[in-house]
Amino acid sequence: MMIAPSILNANNIDLKNDIENAVEAGISRFHIDIMDGHFVPNLSFGPQLIKDFKREFPMTNAEIHLMSNAPDKLVPSFVEAGADLIELHYEAMDQPKLYYWLDYLASNGVDTALAISPDTSVDVIKQYLPLLKQVLVMTVKPGFGGQSFIPESIDRIKAVREIVGPDFDIEVDGGINDQTIKLAKDAGANIFVVGSYLYENGNISGQVHKLEKIIK
């Protein structure tokens, strides 16, 4: 079980402080949302943030959630910036491109995940499994932090767990809080992206510990 904070809704002017607080609370992986204003109607961070993150926190993993249909431009830059894991969206490119970039990541020593949006059939993951480290099941429509968990996600997580078997990482992303984390865990998820819930009351380590207790 692992909590991966999303810094999308952190105070962007004070990111280092928020990241430090989470690292001190035992966090070993951050989920960094990359939005291109095209695949999703929002903009977020670029490769420079990853470079700076890895320089400041070399022992902490940077997981890149790439919400963009311009992988040709972006994937090599994020690899070069030091990404540890890159999550590509099934909906963002055609099959040959997806195979190409999954293979590219593997040959550059970067872990891979396939992300599926709420309206995408979970069956699409089957053909890519041998190339993947994990599957990312979106539990909100990608694009913004602070949305509500979509209840139908529970059955989708269960279906993905059936497909991948017991020893494969299933990450969930969107609307995770002290209620939904338990539902997602019981359905079969083992990695939990948490954004706005962590920044709700200014006590990041307190929020991390609260969630950890629930999923223990």
Per rule CB under 5 A, is residue 87 in the interface with Zn ion? no
Which residue is catalytic, options 14, 33, 52, 111?
A: 33
Query: Exposure of 135 by Cβ count < 10 A (0-12 exposed, 13-18 middle, 19+ buried)?
Result: buried
Whether residue 18 lies in the annotated active site: no
Number of neighbours of residue 116 by Cβ within 10 angstroms:
21
Task: Write the binding mask 50 to 69 for ligand DX5: x where contact by CB under 6 A, - elsewhere.
Answer: ---------------x----
**Interface region with Zn ion, contact rule CB under 5 A, candidates 28-36, 40-48, 78-86, 120-128:** 28-36
Per rule CB under 5 A, is residue 63 in the interface with Zn ion? no
- From the list Zn ion, ligand DX5, none, partner contacted by residue 22 (C-beta under 5 to 8 A by kind): none
Instruction: Report the distance separating Cα 81 and Cα 48, nearest Å.
Output: 7
- From the list Zn ion, ligand DX5, none, partner contacted by residue 170 (C-beta under 5 to 8 A by kind): none
Whether residue 173 lies in the annotated active site: yes
Which residue is catalytic, options 103, 173, 178, 186?
A: 173
Please report, for residues 60, 86, 129, 156, 164, the alpha-carbon distance to residue 133 in angstroms, rounded to integers and kept in the order given: 18, 10, 8, 19, 11
Specify which residues 171 forms β-bridges with: 136, 191
Judged by CB under 6 A, which of 46, 76, 118, 143 binds ligand DX5? 143
Number of residues that bind Zn ion (CB under 5 A): 3
For 65, the token pair is 């959630």
- From the list ligand DX5, Zn ion, none, partner contacted by residue 202 (C-beta under 5 to 8 A by kind): none
Phi, psi of 182 (to 5 degrees): -70, -40
Taking each helix axis from N to C terminus, what angle separates 204-215 and 15-24, rounded to the nearest 10 degrees? Answer: 40
Per rule CB under 6 A, is residue 188 in the interface with ligand DX5? no
Number of residues that bind ligand DX5 (CB under 6 A): 22
Number of neighbours of residue 84 by Cβ within 10 angstroms:
16
**Interface region with ligand DX5, contact rule CB under 6 A, candidates 6-14, 50-58, 87-95, 120-128:** 6-14
Instruction: Report the distance separating Cα 101 and Cα 114, nearest Å.
Output: 11
Query: Exposure of 166 by Cβ count < 10 A (0-12 exposed, 13-18 middle, 19+ buried)?
Result: exposed
Provide the binding-site residues for ligand DX5, judged by CB under 6 A: 6, 8-9, 31, 33, 65, 140, 142-147, 173-176, 193-197
The binding site for Zn ion (CB under 5 A) comprises: 33, 65, 173
Q: What residues act catalytically?
A: 33, 173
